[in-house]
Structure 1
């Protein structure tokens, strides 16, 4: 870990703090996230620093202090834009198992993307992604109904009045729109919406002028926008069926998984104009991107985009940044405490996530993004939950 990288990052992030002691606590907590073994809690960080008496001070700095995390996130995003060639924003879901029920946003129920019943928090992060590295810069916590409508729960966790209940797909789009409103430049946004919410996302992102690539399920119904498409006889049809009808126009697209190694890969890709079947009035132009890793099987990935002037090659290579993010999260994000906050408050969670994101960025900027595993286990399909013994109360 380069100390110069950490010092530069601390100077960038904590310059907005008016008090010297806040700047010192910020750097202390950030360095603790980078060097403490095991879970990154205030207690463990204080013990690692050899100053157990500072545990309460660090806890107060995260859970009860008054500093606003939004300027730090904006500063982190701007810092990464200066340091690396950001190609896209990847909105990634993060599941945080919890054994207790007091942490803000904790819920229990069947989670489609995990394909299992799950107790814990669901959150979405905006990751700035380049070919060489990725890092999260903004976060939004899914708030189930009870955390919005139960006044006792809401007050106990300090949930702000403006925060409302959201479905996960709504939260994923909202965090991208928040980032676009607060800081730029705007990059293409990649969001996995295979569980639904596609039409609403297209409407909101298009109205905000945010370029997007939305991963969709094969059952998502679309209408063809070009009656001359090979084999197309009308719609709406499932997206997978549309791509099967036009597979004669597939072309090979080379791409490289930089998170896995230098070996290049090639997929077949097709890009066809489509429309949402339930749209009315003025609608954005859309294209359906299909990828085949095995030409004899159905498409392995389907994406809906408003970037209709781009060809299938550049678009497909953009989608591979989800692999970069998944690999960096597994290799670095877990180690810098992105799932380790044990407090109960809404504001504490956001402050911890902001500094854990900064710690992740510090590792990546110091060269932590090079190398890695095969990449096959980080295909962006579904996140596996951590074992129950790692869940916090």
Structure 2
């Protein structure tokens, strides 16, 4: 779960790259004035200093009249954000060549209660309650860079009364969604936009039932790599080979039993960009109350007996090294969120409009994409060891 606090520095985006992106993602908008305002807003996200409020964006790209016009365009216009996100997804398919969809949860601290979706939430990472929004992004990700394509804003039960109190309408389907429902729905939608063979979904939702995760993605025909706690209960599928009776046990305990199978795997550190090596082992397992075989993967950074991280996946035929590199894409996304998304205003929307939040986030995702792809680390084909 990412916690947002501050912004980073920027770089100048070439006009040619921005023009190419705008022409593609705004093509679904039927009105020329909407396409023009979309490009204006996107340019403001990339060039305005400080918080990317509508006022600051208007001051950067227009005049006082532009502020009212852009406010309507974002908060109360009728254009739908899904076709724009779909066009962005196809743009990234061609430009980024992603390896996986990565789910990235974000906690956005907010002052007051007026912004859409704001509530008081306990954040385990901090150990206390934070007045905040909770959002879930689905990112097209590779080892060199990543970019968001779809979002869900979690809305707690308190928001059921908002329409009665004069709040703009909220979709019933978004109320009381669990974190798994948010991630799965956004991932399925992103895959439908991209088309082609289902890409793996990499997620880390420690509070979700691993069996529920497996069922949800199996039903959609989407492979997954899911981070799990070491305390998650699993049962080995070949207990005789382990000198074990096949009873359920904590995942980290089972991985400790197979640590003699560990092998080194190289991966790229998304923060420093340098090579790293981990020890990896895996074992086929089943989850309580299920019969489907999954693969439990563990990672060690040194010779110690207990794994530092554990994952479950249904891609049992994929080499362990490739699975670890997929799992590590969560680090790539977290780094890009901190270094690019916060800079282009991803978390800066302060309005009460549910649609406004999604329109702003859609355009901020486009700003992230063009900045990421022109920042001097456009991905190149790389050899992938087994």
1:141 aligns with 2:147: no
Q: Name the CA distance, whole Å, in 1 between partners of 2:200 and 2:105.
A: 17
The equivalent of 2:264 in structure 1 is 252
TM-score using structure 2 length: 0.90
The equivalent of 2:31 in structure 1 is 19
Alpha carbons of structure 1 residues 13 and 370: separation in structure 2 relative to 1, 3 Å = closer
Q: Name the CA distance, whole Å, in 2 between partners of 1:157 and 1:220.
A: 41
The equivalent of 1:90 in structure 2 is 102
1:116-164 deviation digits (Å, cap 9, x = unpaired): 21111100000000122100000001111111355425x5132023333
1:14-48 deviation digits (Å, cap 9, x = unpaired): 11111111111000000000000111111011112
Equivalent position to 2:90, from 73, 78, 87: 78
The equivalent of 2:180 in structure 1 is 169
Q: CA deviation at 1:297?
A: 4.8
Report if aligned partners of 1:328, 1:369 keep a CA contact under 8 Å in 2.
no
List gaps (5 residues or longer) in structure 1: 372-393
Report if aligned partners of 2:100, 2:201 keep a CA contact under 8 Å in 1.
yes
Report if aligned partners of 2:102, 2:203 keep a CA contact under 8 Å in 1.
yes
Moved more, 165-174 or 85-94: 165-174
The equivalent of 1:47 in structure 2 is 59
The equivalent of 2:115 in structure 1 is 103
Q: Name the CA distance, whole Å, in 2 between partners of 1:149 and 1:219.
A: 38
Q: Name the CA distance, whole Å, in 2 between partners of 1:235 and 1:369.
A: 48
Q: Name the CA distance, whole Å, in 2 between partners of 1:295 and 1:12.
A: 50
1:328-377 deviation digits (Å, cap 9, x = unpaired): 11111110111100111110000000000000001011125579xxxxxx
Alpha carbons of structure 1 residues 267 and 217: separation in structure 2 relative to 1, 3 Å = same
Q: Name the CA distance, whole Å, in 1 between partners of 2:308 and 2:377.
A: 26
Q: Name the CA distance, whole Å, in 2 between partners of 1:229 and 1:104.
A: 54
The equivalent of 2:298 in structure 1 is 290
TM-score using structure 1 length: 0.89
Q: CA deviation at 1:323?
A: 1.2
The equivalent of 2:337 in structure 1 is 329
1:349 aligns with 2:349: no
Alpha carbons of structure 1 residues 258 and 127: separation in structure 2 relative to 1, 3 Å = same
Give the superposed CA RMSD.
1.8
Q: Name the CA distance, whole Å, in 1 between partners of 2:347 and 2:70.
A: 18
Equivalent positions of 1:87-236 (< 5 A) are 87-148=99-160, 151-152=163-164, 156-185=167-196, 186-236=198-248
Equivalent position to 1:278, from 286, 289, 308: 289
Q: Name the CA distance, whole Å, in 2 between partners of 1:199 and 1:327.
A: 29
Q: Name the CA distance, whole Å, in 2 between partners of 1:55 and 1:2.
A: 25
1:170-228 deviation digits (Å, cap 9, x = unpaired): 32233223323444332110010212232111101011100100000111111111123
Report if aligned partners of 1:95, 1:121 keep a CA contact under 8 Å in 2.
yes
Moved more, 102-111 or 203-212: 102-111
Equivalences, count: 366
Alpha carbons of structure 1 residues 259 and 75: separation in structure 2 relative to 1, 3 Å = farther
- Secondary structure of 2:247's partner? coil
Q: Name the CA distance, whole Å, in 2 between partners of 1:204 and 1:125.
A: 18
1:311 aligns with 2:322: no
Alpha carbons of structure 1 residues 258 and 113: separation in structure 2 relative to 1, 3 Å = closer
Alpha carbons of structure 1 residues 194 and 231: separation in structure 2 relative to 1, 3 Å = farther
- Secondary structure of 1:177's partner? helix
Q: CA deviation at 1:85?
A: 1.9
List gaps (5 residues or longer) in structure 2: 1-12, 380-386
Q: CA deviation at 1:50?
A: 4.6
